[in-house]
Amino acid sequence: MTRALPKLTALVAGAALALSACGGTTEEATDGASAPASGGGDVTLTWWHNSNTGEGKDYYDKVAADFEAANPGVTIDVQAMQHEDMVTKLEAAWQSGDVPDIYMERGGGELADKVEAGLVKDLSEAAGETVEKLGGSVNGWTVDGKTYGLPFSMGVVGFWYNTELFEQAGITEAPTTMEDLYAAIDKLKAAGIDPISVGAGDKWPAAHYWYYFALRECSEEVLSDAVTSLDFTDQCFVRAGEDLAELVGKEPFNPGFLTTPAQSGPTSASGLLATRKVAMELAGHWEPGVMQGLTEDEQGLGEATGWFAFPEVEGGEGDQSAALGGGDAWAVPADAPDQAVDFVEYLLSDEIQKGFAELDMGLPTNPTASQYVADPALAKLLEVRDAAGYVQLYFDTAFGTSVGGAMNDEIALAFAGQATAQEIVDATQSAADAEK
């Protein structure tokens, strides 16, 4: 319908944008794009996002209105949804082929599948400037050297801990090596505190441990090769499982961890940390927000919130500073009008990312916006992210749900002592072979 913009106009719009983008400021860019768009008929862009409450929602409404004002003829149909609803609706939208013009993309294998089917627009040229500015952050949204999504928020996984309980157990410094972590676990146990909560019932929180051990044991080349070739024969993957078995053998986890959910309710892994029942949990940047939602005073751990990076593994071949993470990107379906790309670039501009950071809506990817993150724990995490050797996208996202699911299932079995290090690799490999 409204997507049927004459091709020529689209080309002109793209060219004008590319030219004006070189000019630098956002205002110029949007002005440049507005002239041909107004001549080529009206366009309505559908935008789905998940900031459906409070300031975040108002902010995005304003962002859309500003863009409309700067681009006469462009109307943005903003649809704010609760996150899970959005994910479900997006899935259905892909099945029916009626996808919004700007949608949230998690990257990795799922994106690669869509790219293979020719369903997602290549942004490497159209938004080249922004791609360059975001630097390594776009890696998770790159397929065969082309970028298909622009991440607007990216976090890394690490240990969130209760500083008061650590103090109570006599732990003075946050662990930096596995040896330190094991010592901390012993001290916590001696003090009668359950050391770690893990939502192994949901599987992915348990899988993050194995991912991190793989990150420490495997070199960056081996990992990036594995993402494309789906070849897991390198022995470092087995060593990752052995490291995991050692950790599980120390019995650091909350009772019943095999069926503990990740985030739902006070008895979930996040809930146990928030209600001071355990000392730490391995989780992503979302954790403070989740914990706030799980406590009556909406403070989560409040002042007692601490964060440290996943410890180093002695003798590992991998980058000991590498981080596991992931995030959300804006992407555009292949058949969407070019103004959608303009809008995505606008969303990642310095100005919009600054507001995004100031409202604590996520961890901005535009380097100029990092300084505006107010929350101290998040700011620390951002430091680690920016200092990390590289950020590896969660394996289950990177390998796609099919291989990732098989991998997570087997890792969860290892947590139950029912799968060996080799079996994790074998299960992953056989799921990967089924994909080839």
Partner 1 sequence: MTDATTTRKRAAAAVTTAGEGGRAKRSPSPRSTRSVNWRMGLEIAVFVLPALVLFFMFVVWPMLRAVQFSVYRWKGFGPLTDFVGLRNYISVLTNDVFLGALGHNLFIVVASVAIQLPLGIAVALLLNRKMKFQGLLRTIVFIPYILAEVIAGVVWFQLLQPRYGVIDSILAGLGIQGPAQGFLGTPDLALWTVMVVLTWKYLGFAIILFLAGLQGVPQELDEAAQIDGASWWQTQRYITIPLLGPTLRTWAFLSMVGALQLFDMVWILTGGGPANATTTMATFLINEGTKRSNYGIAGAASVVLFVVALTMALLYQRFILSRDTADSDKRKVRR
**By the criterion CB under 8 A, which residues form the site for partner 1?**
91, 94-95, 97, 110, 113-114, 117, 119, 200-202, 255-261, 265, 267, 277, 400-402, 404-406, 409, 412-413, 416, 418, 434
Nearer to partner 1, 89 or 277 (CB): 277
Using alpha carbons, list the distances in angstroms from residue 413 to 241, 257, 316, 397.
12, 12, 24, 20
Report the alpha-carbon distance of residue 260 to residue 412 in Å, rounded: 12
Beta carbon of residue 207, minimum distance to partner 1 (angstroms, whole number): 13
For 58-69, give one letter per residue: b (16+ CB within 10 A) or e.
Answer: ebbeebbebbee
Which distant-in-sequence residues (6+ apart) come within 8 Å of 167 by Cβ? Answer: none
Q: Which residues pair with 149 in a beta bridge?
A: 331
| Length in residues, the chain | 436
Beta carbon of residue 339, minimum distance to partner 1 (angstroms, whole number): 24
Structure tokens at 63: 């962002």
Nearer to partner 1, 124 or 402 (CB): 402
**H helix intervals, 142-284:** 163-168, 178-190, 204-217, 220-229, 235-249, 269-274
Nearer to partner 1, 283 or 413 (CB): 413
Using alpha carbons, list the distances in angstroms from residue 280 to 191, 270, 380, 382.
14, 9, 17, 19
Beta carbon of residue 102, minimum distance to partner 1 (angstroms, whole number): 17
Nearer to partner 1, 46 or 130 (CB): 46
Beta carbon of residue 229, minimum distance to partner 1 (angstroms, whole number): 19
Nearer to partner 1, 336 or 352 (CB): 336
Residue in 363, 366, 371 with CA at minimum distance from that of residue 348? 366
